Amino acid sequence: MGFDPEDVPIIPAFGKNSKSMIQIMAEIERLRLRLVLWEGLDMMVKNPNNPYEVAEMLSGLSGHCEDGLTVLGTVGVAKLKPHEMYDNPRQLVAGSSVWERCTSSNFIIRALNPKDIGDARRLLYVSLKNAPSFSLEGRFDDNGMLVFDDYERRQHGAMLALNIGKAASGGTRPS
């Protein structure tokens, strides 16, 4: 991504380095970080399907965000059969619906053609709570970096998303 690895602090928090949410937040504050990529944010609750646990954790995290922290958290994605498609990409977030309800932005990346593993194209759904959502087409470059079209090409991404939805509409739509 162009970063010098020495400039990117890493907070190990899994396995032998296991840390609680409180310990991770204390380390974030000690390092005075303002932007955090949190891999496996859904693993910070015992049951990601429990709306009360998820809401409590996200509420605490939101308090830190009110003080200037931005968190990009990754969570699991619902598994669907090839012919299934949700009407709203925000519903792809696995677990309780609180995950998408209590966050302001959801970025969902899916293969454009999941039946062809050699197809490097991806579709990025950007689901925003306080602004119009959009989608962009992306692809892996020769260095393995996933690169998306400019925002100005979001109309093209919208057409791709619409075509994926139409292709799936003949199948079962999860509720």
Q: Tens digits of per-residue pLDDT, 22-58?
A: 999 999 999 999 999 999 998 999 998 899 999 999 9
Residue 86 CB-density burial (10 A; 0-12 exposed, 13-18 middle, 19+ buried): middle
pTM beyond cutoff 0.75: no
- Alpha-carbon span 71 to 106, nearest angstrom: 12
- Alpha-carbon span 97 to 49, nearest angstrom: 8
pLDDT digits (tens, 9 = 90+) for 113-136: 878 888 999 988 888 888 888 888
